[in-house]
């Protein structure tokens, strides 16, 4: 391998640190936690990259990237002091680098495969931080719209402006299609705007990424609930193809007694109030978000961490994560768990609520929990949590946030019987992201169930390629019986 | 942005606003609602549509000044624009020919009652409308509802017009007199809908109520509007807003609608200070 021939030089084993707001300070504001690195540091970080060549023997950084960014190539550009060239390479693959540079689970993806990270006592190259830096560097200088090919006479409707929808809209606009992007809420971005908190992904950045996509000629229509404000039928009459990416926005409940008490909210409601509606500015913003002294968040994913950390910032005295497995099984990103712990979020593992009790005004005051232990691994490979009978105990709480996952948004399938769904409510798609309705493609959480931003973008990428093929070469569509499972 | 094309003050604190929103106007059906937001920092609030005009591309709302947002709405002028309006949301009224339908509206609930009465009338029903307000000057849409009803009863709490008392008095009397009633439709204050449902229950008369819980997105994403129907949790925004009144847990709805009373008060006080 190439690196073996290079003259031996002292390797920097660890990532160059990312400066962060100190925990005791940041729990009183909604500003971003990582402050960002300098150009100088990023260039030094780039020197840590070994520029691995493609290998059949092992997976490399780009194999771990759901949108397939040519990572060694962009890092090489940084090594050569060509930052513009570097961001140019990223944007060929990824339309939302400032978002991905912040919320991607790189540790399991590109950085998880990084050869440097496999060396004893070494950390992988900080690919995510470099992506973030380059996107921010470009935005600060003013993003230039790329040169676009001549406009095609084909029209595409994209339903949902989250990560998958934005990806498809941008990719198809770059190929010259006339794209209209529909968003149900009053601001575009989907989960990037209503779900992910400001301190993890500033909304100004989402706005800038969406503006960039608008400069590609994408027409944005907000306040449009497809299936209610306009039907899929109408869209298919007005367009040559449709992409559905309506996400997993339907909160799951545990269906245990007392769940409708005041003070018990879905993660979606709590985060939408905080993020989209800016409840942290109340009463300067009109939407309230009442937070108690002792908050329990049920669940162990990124959304649960977001809830627990937002609670502290809104003034909770104690913020607990209640999770039925152990720390090892927490599905949240390590960085999020780490940040939550630094900020004083407390963890109650091997615990699940079974019942809530309210006071005379209908507010939750107590939560009965059962203790759990881990049994044999289940289908997901994680050890199944089992109830320990007779070991129930009570916790005093005045706010409970349910963050146990989201189901696919049902409005499009419910109002469009031609579109087949699975028993979990996801839209059935084939390898080309085609649905059972001709000309209609789907990706993101509506097709996969709740997953990550970058996986939704990867699905969008595949859909955009398939849609281009469908619109320009081959209008074939799978036979109806294909969709019978 | 959605322009206000006409405005009428129906009383000192009840306003009719006609808003340009062609996508909604084209598809609106009786019983559905919209969510609106006045400005960037505004709250998203659900409001019922009193009417719509698909040719003009407008929807009409009638709103009562109750909190900060509705007060702010009341101060807007023709030509002003709203930050957001989305709809039509929720399920539409089931428009069968039931026979004789008693439609009951209380206060601002009468705004939603109007398109429902009109549609039920068109579906062939005989309509008996009962409308109640605090006082004669806050009674809305009397002429309009009268034009699409076979019989109309007016009630005021203070006796300044029609029956001196509640809408439920009239309904109770009709049921006691064994008047044939195939269905009751009620929309208004929660307590009114509860009383109506309690009155019809022993008579076995199918009773539909239109619920008004607190909502955030209005599209099924947050569950702020969850209500308990026959012991099962439903989202009023997508499963409703209409439900079988005999199955609604009204106590829960009343409690849940009081969740943000303190904040609502604080917000209104701040606004009042600012506009003085």
Using CB atoms, which residue from A194, A262, A288 is nearest to B263? A288
Q: What pLDDT band is residue A9 in, cutting at 50, 70 and 90?
A: low
Contact residues on chain B for A184, CB-CB shorter than 8 A = 86, 217, 219
Contact residues on chain A for B27, CB-CB shorter than 8 A = 228-230
Yes or no: say if A190 and A161 are a contact pair by the CB < 8 Å rule.
Answer: yes
CB–CB contact A266 B223 (8 Å): yes
CA distance A250 to A253: 10
Closest CA in chain B for residue A254: B233
Yes or no: say if A227 and A140 are a contact pair by the CB < 8 Å rule.
Answer: no
Residue A225 forms contact with B (CB below 8 Å): yes
Mean of pLDDT values over A404-429: 94
Residues 83-122 of B with CB under 8 A from A: 83-89
The ipTM assigned to this model is: 0.94
Q: What pLDDT band is residue A4 in, cutting at 50, 70 and 90?
A: low
Q: How far off is chain A from B143, nearest CA to CA, in Å?
A: 30
Residue A268 forms contact with B (CB below 8 Å): yes
pLDDT of res. A38: 96
Q: Give the closest residue to B199 by CA, choosing from B177, B169, B227, B160.
A: B169
DSSP code for B97: -
Using CB atoms, which residue from A251, A281, A410 is nearest to B222? A251
Q: What pLDDT band is residue A7 in, cutting at 50, 70 and 90?
A: low
CB–CB contact A194 B27 (8 Å): no
Q: Give the closest residue to A282 by CA, choosing from B218, B43, B35.
A: B43
Using CB atoms, which residue from B41, B219, B228 is nearest to A278? B41
Contact residues on chain B for A249, CB-CB shorter than 8 A = 219-221
| Residue A246 CB partners (closer than 8 Å, separation 6+) | A159, A160, A184, A226, A408, A409, A411, A412, A446
% of chain A surpassing 90 pLDDT: 87
Using CB atoms, which residue from A194, A224, A260 is nearest to B233? A260
HEC secondary structure over chain A: CHHHHCCCCCCCCCCCCCCECCHHHHCCCCCCCECCCCHHHHHHHHHCCCCCCCCCCCCCHHHHCCCCCCHHHHHHHHHCCCHHHHHHHHHHHCCCHHHHHHHCCHHHCHHHHCHHHHCCCCCCCCHHHHHHHHHHHHHHHCCCCCCCCCCCCCEEEEECCCHHHHHHHHHHHHCCCEEEEECCCCCCCCHHHHCCCCCCCCHHHHHHHHHHHHHCCCEEECCCCECCCECHHHHHHHCCEEEECCCCCEECCCCCCCCCCECEEEHHHHHHHHHHCCHHHCCCCCCCCCCCCEEEEECCCHHHHHHHHHHHHCCCCEEEEECCCCHHHCCCCHHHHHHHHHCCCEEECCEEEEEEEECCCCEEEEEEEEEEEEEEECCCCCEEEEECCCCCEEEECCEEEECCCEECCCHHHHHCCCCCECCCCCECCCCCCECCCCCEEECCHHHHCCCCHHHHHHHHHHHHHHHHHHHHCCCCCCCHHHHCC
pLDDT of res. A423: 92
Provide the number of CB pairs (under 8 Å) joining chain A to chain B.
117
pLDDT at A1 over 60: no
Which stretches of chain B score pLDDT less than 70? none
The least confident of A310-324, A425-439, A468-482, B151-165 is A468-482
pLDDT of res. A3: 53
Closest CA in chain B for residue A412: B219
Which of A228, A262, A272 is the best residue to mutate to test the B interface, defined by the most B CB atoms within 10 Å of its own CB? Answer: A228
Residue A257 forms contact with B (CB below 8 Å): no
Mean of pLDDT values over A387-407: 95
CB–CB contact B84 A409 (8 Å): no
CB–CB contact A268 B223 (8 Å): yes
Q: Give chain B's count of helices (H) and strands (E).
A: 9, 16
Q: What pLDDT band is residue A420 in, cutting at 50, 70 and 90?
A: very high
Q: What pLDDT band is residue A8 in, cutting at 50, 70 and 90?
A: low
Q: How far off is chain B from A98, nearest CA to CA, in Å?
A: 24
CB–CB contact B217 A286 (8 Å): no
CB–CB contact B223 A224 (8 Å): no
Residue B256 forms contact with A (CB below 8 Å): yes
The burial of B246, by beta-carbon neighbours within 10 Å (0-12 exposed, 13-18 middle, 19 or more buried), is given as: middle
Q: What pLDDT band is residue A476 in, cutting at 50, 70 and 90?
A: confident
pLDDT of res. B50: 93
CB–CB contact A194 B256 (8 Å): no
Residue range B204-235, pLDDT digits in tens: 999 999 999 999 999 999 999 999 999 999 99
Contact residues on chain B for A273, CB-CB shorter than 8 A = 216
Residues in chain A: 485
Which of A286, A291, A361, A411 is the best residue to mutate to test the B interface, defined by the most B CB atoms within 10 Å of its own CB? Answer: A286
pLDDT of res. B76: 96
- Map out the domains of chain B with their CATH numbers: 2-89 (2.40.30.10), 100-210 (3.40.50.80)
Q: Which residue has the tokens 């005021």?
A: B156
Structure-derived torsion over alpha carbons of residues A52, A53, A56, A62, reported in degrees to the nearest 10: 70
pLDDT of res. B268: 94
Residue A290 forms contact with B (CB below 8 Å): yes
Closest CA in chain A for residue B22: A229
pLDDT at A68 over 60: yes
Q: How far off is chain A from B227, nearest CA to CA, in Å?
A: 8
Mean of pLDDT values over A454-470: 94
Residues 65-104 of A with CB under 8 A from B: none
Q: How far off is chain B from A222, nearest CA to CA, in Å?
A: 8
Using CB atoms, which residue from B85, B222, B266 is nearest to A283? B266
Q: Give the closest residue to A364 by CA, choosing from A259, A270, A273.
A: A259
CA distance A94 to A103: 14
CB–CB contact A287 B238 (8 Å): no
Q: What pLDDT band is residue A405 in, cutting at 50, 70 and 90?
A: very high
Residue B69 forms contact with A (CB below 8 Å): yes
The tokens describing A387, both together, are 């109830």
- Map out the domains of chain A with their CATH numbers: 23-141 (1.10.1060.10), 155-249+408-483 (3.50.50.60), 250-406 (3.50.50.60)
pLDDT of res. A485: 61
CA distance A304 to A107: 19
Yes or no: say if B171 and B147 are a contact pair by the CB < 8 Å rule.
Answer: no
pLDDT of res. A382: 81
Residue A254 forms contact with B (CB below 8 Å): no
Q: What pLDDT band is residue A145 in, cutting at 50, 70 and 90?
A: confident
pLDDT of res. B276: 81
pLDDT of res. A162: 95
Angle at B88 between CA B83 and CA B91, to 5 degrees: 145
Instruction: Record the pTM.
Output: 0.93
Closest CA in chain A for residue B38: A286
pLDDT of res. A5: 57
The least confident of A58-67, A69-78, A170-179, A231-240 is A58-67
Yes or no: say if A281 and B41 are a contact pair by the CB < 8 Å rule.
Answer: yes
Q: How far off is chain B from A475, nearest CA to CA, in Å?
A: 31
DSSP B116-155: HHHHHHHTT-EEEEEEEESSGGG--SHHHHHHT-SEEEEE
Q: How far off is chain B from A252, nearest CA to CA, in Å?
A: 10
Give buried/exposed letters for A34-51 (b at 16+ CB in 10 A, else e): beebeeebbbebbebbbe
CB–CB contact A228 B219 (8 Å): yes
CB–CB contact B222 A272 (8 Å): yes
pLDDT at A147 over 90: no
Q: Which residue has the tokens 């004789």?
A: B100
- For residue B142, the Cα-to-chain-centroid distance in whole angstroms is 15
Residue B198 forms contact with A (CB below 8 Å): no
């Amino acid at each position: 391998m190439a690196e073996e021939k290079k003259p031996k030089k002292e390797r920097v084993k660890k990532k160059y640190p990312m400066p962060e707001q100190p925990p005791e300070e940041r729990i009183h504001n909604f500003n971003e936690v990582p402050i960002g690195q300098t150009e100088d540091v990023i260039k030094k970080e780039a020197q840590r990259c070994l520029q691995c060549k493609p290998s059949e023997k092992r997976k490399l950084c780009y194999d771990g990237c759901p949108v397939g960014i040519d990572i060694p190539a962009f890092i090489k550009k940084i090594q050569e002091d060509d930052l513009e060239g570097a961001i140019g390479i990223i944007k060929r693959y990824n339309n939302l680098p400032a978002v991905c540079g912040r919320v991607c689970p790189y540790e399991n993806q590109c950085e998880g495969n990084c050869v440097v990270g496999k060396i004893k006592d070494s950390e992988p190259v900080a690919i995510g931080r470099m992506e973030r830096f380059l996107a921010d560097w470009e935005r600060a200088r003013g993003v230039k719209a790329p040169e676009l090919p001549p406009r095609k006479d084909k029209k595409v409707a994209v339903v949902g402006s989250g990560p998958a929808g934005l990806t498809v809209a941008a990719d198809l606009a770059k190929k010259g299609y006339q794209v209209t992007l529909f968003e149900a809420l009053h601001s575009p971005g989907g989960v990037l705007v209503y779900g992910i908190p400001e301190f993890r992904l500033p909304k100004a950045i989402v706005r800038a990424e969406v503006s960039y996509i608008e400069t590609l000629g994408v027409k944005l229509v907000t306040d449009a609930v497809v299936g209610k404000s306009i039907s899929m039928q109408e869209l298919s009459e007005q367009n040559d193809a449709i992409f559905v990416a309506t996400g997993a926005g339907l909160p799951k409940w545990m269906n245990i007694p007392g769940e409708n008490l005041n003070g018990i909210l879905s993660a979606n409601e709590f985060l939408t109030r905080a993020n989209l509606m800016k409840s942290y500015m109340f009463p300067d913003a009109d939407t309230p978000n009442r937070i108690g002294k002792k908050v329990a968040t049920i669940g162990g994913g990124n959304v649960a961490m977001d809830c627990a950390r937002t609670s502290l910032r809104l003034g909770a005295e104690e913020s607990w994560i209640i999770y039925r497995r152990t720390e090892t099984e927490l599905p949240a990103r390590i960085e999020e768990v780490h940040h939550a712990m630094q900020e004083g979020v407390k963890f109650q593992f091997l615990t699940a609520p079974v019942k809530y009790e309210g006071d005379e005004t209908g507010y939750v005051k107590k939560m009965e929990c059962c203790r759990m232990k881990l049994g044999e691994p289940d289908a997901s490979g994680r050890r199944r949590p089992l109830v320990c009978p007779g070991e129930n105990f009570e916790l005093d709480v005045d706010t409970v946030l349910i963050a146990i996952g989201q189901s696919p948004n049902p409005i499009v399938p419910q109002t469009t019987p031609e579109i087949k769904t699975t028993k979990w409510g996801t839209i059935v798609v084939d390898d080309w992201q085609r649905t059972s309705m001709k000309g209609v493609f789907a990706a993101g959480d509506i097709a996969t169930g709740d997953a990550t931003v970058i996986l939704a973008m990867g699905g969008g990428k595949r859909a955009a390629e398939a849609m281009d093929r469908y619109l320009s070469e081959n209008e074939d569509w799978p036979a109806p019986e294909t969709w019978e499972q | 942005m959605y322009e206000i094309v006409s405005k009428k003050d129906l009383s000192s604190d009840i306003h009719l606003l006609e808003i340009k929103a062609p996508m909604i106007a084209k598809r609106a059906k009786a019983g559905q609602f919209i969510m609106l937001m006045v400005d960037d920092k505004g709250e998203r609030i659900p409001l019922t549509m009193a009417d719509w005009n698909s040719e003009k591309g407008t929807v009409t709302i009638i709103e009562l000044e109750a909190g900060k947002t509705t007060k702010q709405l009341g101060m807007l002028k023709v030509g002003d624009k709203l930050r957001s309006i989305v709809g039509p949301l929720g399920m539409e009224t089931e428009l069968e020919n039931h026979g004789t339908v008693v439609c009951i509206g209380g206060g601002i609930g009468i705004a939603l009652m109007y398109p429902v009465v009109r549609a039920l009338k068109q579906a062939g029903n005989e309509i008996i409308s009962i409308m109640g307000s605090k006082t004669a000057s806050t009674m809305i849409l009397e002429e309009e509802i009268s034009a699409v009803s076979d019989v109309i009863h007016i009630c005021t709490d203070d006796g300044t017009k029609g029956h001196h008392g509640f809408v439920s008095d009239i309904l109770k009397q009709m049921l006691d007199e064994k008047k044939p009633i195939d269905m009751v439709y009620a929309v208004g204050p929660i307590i009114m809908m509860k009383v109506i449902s309690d009155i019809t229950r022993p008579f076995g008369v199918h009773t539909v109520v239109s619920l008004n819980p607190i909502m955030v997105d209005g599209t099924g994403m947050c569950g702020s509007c969850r209500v308990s129907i026959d012991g099962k949790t439903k989202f009023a925004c997508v499963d409703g807003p209409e439900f079988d009144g005999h199955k609604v847990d009204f106590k829960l709805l009343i409690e849940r609608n009081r969740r943000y009373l303190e904040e609502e008060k604080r917000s209104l006080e701040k606004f009042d200070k600012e506009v003085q």
